[in-house]
Structure 1
Amino acid sequence: MEKVGAGNIIYDLRRKIQQAQADLEQLGEPVSNIPELIETANLIRSNEYLQKVNMKQNELLSVYEQYSEALEELLSTVFEIQNDLKEIVKEQSSLLSKPKRTSTKRKTKTTKK
C-alpha cells in the first residue's frame, strides 16, 4: 500500500463523521418563538442556531470529502494489487503451459575393431 496507515486514516475520518453527526443531532430543532420576547430577540436566537447548524454541516461535508478521498485511494491500491496478481497468474500459467523440453541424448554405439 502506498500509505501504511490508510486503514487508520479511514477509521479516524469515520469517527469524525460520527462525532459531527452526533453534534448536529444534539443541536436539535430550532427554538420556537417565545411570545414574551420581542421579534428581534427571536430572530437573533434563530440566527445563532442556524450559524451553529451551518458550521457543523460544513464540518461534516469537509470530513466526508476527506473520507471519500481516502477510500478512493485505498480502492485504487486494491485495484493495483489485483492487476499485479492477474499478471503473476498469467505468467505462472504461461510457464506451466510451455511444453517441457526433454533432452534426448542419442547414444552412439561404439564398435570394437
Structure 2
Amino acid sequence: MTQFGAGNAIYSLRKKIQEVKSELNALGDPIVDLPELISSANLLRSNEYLSKSNEKKSELISTYEQYASALEDLLSTVFEIQNELKDVLKEQSSLISTKTSSKTSKKTSKPKTQKRSKK
C-alpha cells in the first residue's frame, strides 16, 4: 500500500492551489498602456506583469500535476483495498458454504432411528 499521509498531501496541495489562484487573481488585469509614458516604459510594465503572471501560472500547473499524481496514488490504493476486500469476501463466503454443506451432509448422513410400533 502507499503512504497513509496521502490525504494530508492532497489537502496541502489543494490549499496551495487555492493560494496560487488567489495570488494570480491579485495580480489583476493586464497592464493598460498609459499615454503619458513612453512606449518602452509601457513595455517594461507589461513585461513585468506578464512575467509574474507566467510564473504564477507555471506554479499552478506544477501544483496541479502534483495534485493529480497524489489523487492517482490515492485512487490506486483504494482499488488495492477493494481487491483485497473482494478476496476476503470470496474466502469468507467459501468458508461459509463449506461449513453449511458439511452441516447438511452430517444431518443427512445420520442413520434414521426406527419408530417403535405400539403393541
**Can you give the 5+ residue segments of structure 1 that lack an aligned partner in the other structure?**
107-113
TM-score (norm 1): 0.87
Tell me the equivalent position of 1:102: 106
Q: Any idea what SS the aligned residue of 2:61 has?
A: helix
The answer for the alignment partner of 1:80 in structure 2 is: 80
SS at 1:10's partner residue?
Answer: helix
Matching residue of 2:48: 48
Report the AA paired with residue 53 of structure 1: S
1:105 offset after TM fit, Å?
Answer: 8.0
Unaligned runs of 5+ in 2: 112-119
SS, match of residue 51 in structure 1: helix
CA distance in 2, matches of 1:23, 1:105: 81
Q: In structure 2, how many angstroms separate the alpha carbons of the residues matched to 1:41 and 1:6?
A: 48
Deviations 1:61-81 (CA, angstroms, capped at 9, x unpaired): 000000000000000000000
Q: Pairwise CA RMSD of aligned residues?
A: 1.6
The letter of the residue matching 1:67 is: Y
TM superposition shift of 1:95: 1.3
Length, aligned pairs only = 106
TM-score, normalised via structure 2 length: 0.83
Matches within 5 A, 1:1-113: 1-98=1-98, 99-100=101-102, 102=106
After the TM superposition, list the runs of 4 or more consecutive aligned residues in structure 1 that deviate by more than 2 angstroms.
101-106
Question: Offset at 1:4?
Answer: 1.7
- Counting aligned pairs with the same residue, the percent is 58
Letter in 2 for 1:87: D
